[in-house]
Chains A and B, each alone.
Chain A
Amino acid sequence: MDGAKSFGKPAGRIRLDERVDPNPAKLVSINKYGDPVSPGQRLFQLTQEALDAFRALRTAALAAGFNKELFTLTSAYRSSVRQAQLAAAARAQYGAGAGKWVAQTRSEHITGRAFDLNLGIDNTSSNAKAQLFAHTSAFQWLRTNAASYGLNPYYEEPWHWSYNVKP
Chain B
Amino acid sequence: MALVVQRQALMRHIQGLARFAAVSAALLPGACGHSSTRESSPASPAAVDGSDGASSPTSIAAAELIAGRWLTALRDQDHGVLTTLTAFPFGFQTPSSKQRCRSGAETPDELRSITTCIVADGLLLEELRRADDFHLVALPQGSVPVWARAVQSESNRDRVPVKAFINGDGVTYVFVLLVKRDRVETCIEHVELEQG
- B2 and A137 contacting across the interface, CB-CB below 8 Å: yes
- B195 and A157 contacting across the interface, CB-CB below 8 Å: yes
State in angstroms the CA–CA spacing of A82 and B170 once bound together: 9
1/0 per residue, CB under 8 A from A, across B159-196: the answer is 00000010111111010000000000000000111111
Q: Which positions in A face B, CB cutoff 8 Å?
A: 41-42, 67, 74-75, 78, 82-83, 86, 89-90, 93-95, 97-98, 100-102, 104, 107-109, 114, 116, 118, 120-126, 132-137, 154, 156-157, 160
Chain A residues with Cβ below 8 Å from B165 are 122, 124
B9 at the interface (CB under 8 A from A): yes
State in angstroms the CA–CA spacing of A71 and B100 once bound together: 36
Q: Do A86 and B171 contact each other (CB < 8 Å), given the known contacts A93-B100, A93-B121, A120-B6?
A: yes
- B6 and A74 contacting across the interface, CB-CB below 8 Å: no
- A95 and B97 contacting across the interface, CB-CB below 8 Å: yes
Chain B residues with Cβ below 8 Å from A108 are 196
Q: Do A109 and B193 contact each other (CB < 8 Å), given the known contacts A93-B121, A126-B145, A137-B3?
A: no
Option from B2, B174, B192 in Cβ contact (under 8 Å) with A132: B2
CB of A150 to closest CB in B, whole Å:
17
How many residues of B are counted as interface, with CB atoms below 8 angstroms from the partner's CB atoms?
A: 33
**Closest B residue by C-beta to A132:** B2
Q: Do A83 and B3 contact each other (CB < 8 Å), given the known contacts A100-B195, A156-B195?
A: no
Q: Do A78 and B193 contact each other (CB < 8 Å), given the known contacts A126-B146, A135-B1, A135-B2?
A: no
CB of B148 to closest CB in A, whole Å:
11
- A86 and B193 contacting across the interface, CB-CB below 8 Å: yes
15 A-B pairs, CB-CB below 8 angstroms?
A: A42-B132, A74-B167, A75-B170, A82-B170, A86-B170, A89-B123, A90-B171, A95-B97, A118-B167, A120-B2, A120-B6, A120-B9, A132-B1, A157-B194, A160-B194
Per CB-CB distance, the 4 closest pairs between chain A and chain B, nearest first, are A135-B2, A101-B193, A94-B97, A136-B2
State in angstroms the CA–CA spacing of A124 and B146 once bound together: 13
Option from B168, B169, B192 in Cβ contact (under 8 Å) with A125: B192
State in angstroms the CA–CA spacing of A104 and B192 once bound together: 13
- B167 and A104 contacting across the interface, CB-CB below 8 Å: no
CB of A86 to closest CB in B, whole Å:
5
**Closest B residue by C-beta to A109:** B170
- B97 and A93 contacting across the interface, CB-CB below 8 Å: yes
State in angstroms the CA–CA spacing of A102 and B100 once bound together: 19
State in angstroms the CA–CA spacing of A83 and B24 once bound together: 41
CB of B60 to closest CB in A, whole Å:
19
**Closest B residue by C-beta to A162:** B196
